[in-house]
């Protein structure tokens, strides 16, 4: 039984830490090391980490000055003795069979990355969805297909959570430090390092979204890291698939549709000049969005509204979100 390391970056997570750490400790797969990287927390998170280490020998705690999530993940990888790596955010949790399931996927398909799907929850009281490991609906994707699916954001995500990695992959391609959108910047290289990846059908990673939390923050210069991350992906595609029109269409789709999150922040900050520039840039990709059967109708509508008028797009978006909050749709 191979040892698996679960790396948990921790920063000011005292309110939620027990859910993530205990979900790791309660795995049915026992050969684990759980690495808590306390990233300069200012609350009691560091003390809580030490308490877990005192209670369970599988827990290793590393205290470092604050350097961000990517640096904490990279430190965790460097300190792992296991040859297989998983990641867990400090306010999320795994179902108890997650590790067992991912290791079984790896073994069945003999692959270097195995992934389970991520589901958003609003409570820590969600019952486990899997009582026994069942691989009958699992899928094996070759490298090219997996990369396309990643760009479209379908069954392969850019986040490292919910995945089992061969250690040398995340060692060879560490997470970019000091930026946001670091997952988007490096996920391509992780997948590209494999011949194929295995995808399970069970939702064994729970992404906790606090009630009232939102991505509607006003513009910050750090948001522009999105464009740097996408530049990395454009360069990757040009390097590896220079004549592949489907891959080019996929990366263009990711650029535009994810770029609307940046647009939303610009709208909240009334950045009229920047919005005009972004609208002009996005309009160049209309065929890759509106004539692309891989893009769902909702996203085509969002894109079309923004190209027609950022003001109309913002009015419709705000109204739609209000209806969701009021649970009318």
Question: pTM of the predicted model, to two decimals?
Answer: 0.93
Per-residue pLDDT at 215: 46
Give me the chain's average pLDDT, please.
93
Read out DSSP for 200-253?
-SS--EEEE--TT--S-PPP-GGGGHHHHHHHHHHHHHHHH-TT-HHHHHHHHH
Query: In this predicted model, what pLDDT tens digit does every residue of 80-138 receive, in sequence order?
Result: 999 999 999 999 999 999 999 999 999 999 999 999 989 888 888 877 777 777 888 89
Query: In this predicted model, what pLDDT tens digit does every residue of 143-162 receive, in sequence order?
Result: 999 999 999 988 899 999 99
Instruction: Decide if 229 contacts 184 (C-beta within 8 A).
Output: yes
Sorted by where each begins, the domain ranges of the chain are 4-208, 221-325
Read out DSSP for 105-119?
HHHHHT-SEEE--EE
Of the chain, the percentage scoring pLDDT greater than 70 comes to 95
- pLDDT level of residue 239 (50, 70, 90 thresholds): very high
Instruction: Decide if 23 contacts 95 (C-beta within 8 A).
Output: yes
The CATH class given to the 4-208 domain equals: alpha beta
Burial (CB < 10 A; 0-12, 13-18, 19+), residue 192, is: middle
Query: In this predicted model, what pLDDT tens digit does every residue of 11-43 receive, in sequence order?
Result: 999 999 999 999 999 999 999 999 999 999 999
pLDDT for 5 beyond 50: yes
């Amino acid at each position: 039984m191979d040892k698996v390391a679960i790396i948990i970056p921790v920063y000011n997570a005292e309110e939620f830490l027990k859910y993530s750490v205990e979900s790791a400790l309660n795995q049915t797969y026992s050969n684990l090391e759980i690495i808590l990287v306390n990233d300069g927390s200012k609350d009691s998170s560091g003390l809580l980490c030490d308490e877990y280490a005192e209670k369970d020998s599988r827990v290793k705690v590393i205290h470092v000055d604050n350097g961000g999530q990517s640096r904490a993940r990279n430190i965790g990888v460097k300190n792992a003795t296991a040859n297989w790596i998983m990641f867990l955010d400090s306010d999320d949790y795994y179902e108890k069979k997650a590790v067992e399931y991912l290791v079984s996927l790896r073994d069945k398909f003999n692959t270097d990355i195995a992934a389970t799907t991520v589901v958003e929850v609003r409570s820590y009281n969600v019952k486990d969805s899997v009582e026994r490991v069942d691989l009958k609906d699992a899928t094996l994707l070759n490298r090219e297909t997996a990369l396309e699916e990643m760009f479209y954001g379908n069954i392969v995500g850019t986040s490292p959570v919910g995945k089992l990695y061969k250690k040398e992959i995340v060692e060879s391609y560490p997470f970019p430090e000091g930026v946001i959108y670091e997952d988007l910047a490096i996920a391509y290289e992780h997948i590209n390092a494999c011949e194929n990846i295995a995808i399970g059908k069970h939702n064994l990673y729970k992404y906790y979204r606090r009630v009232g939390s939102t991505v509607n923050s006003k513009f910050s210069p750090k948001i522009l890291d999105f464009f740097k991350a996408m530049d990395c992906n454009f360069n990757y595609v040009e390097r590896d698939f220079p004549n592949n029109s489907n891959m080019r269409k996929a990366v263009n789709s990711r650029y535009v549709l994810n770029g609307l999150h940046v647009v939303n922040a610009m709208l909240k900050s009334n950045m009229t000049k920047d919005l005009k520039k972004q609208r002009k840039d996005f309009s160049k990709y209309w065929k890759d969005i509106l004539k692309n059967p891989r893009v769902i109708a909702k996203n085509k509508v969002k894109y079309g509204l923004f190209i027609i008028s950022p003001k109309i797009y913002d009015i419709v978006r705000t109204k739609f979100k209000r209806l969701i909050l009021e649970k009318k749709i």
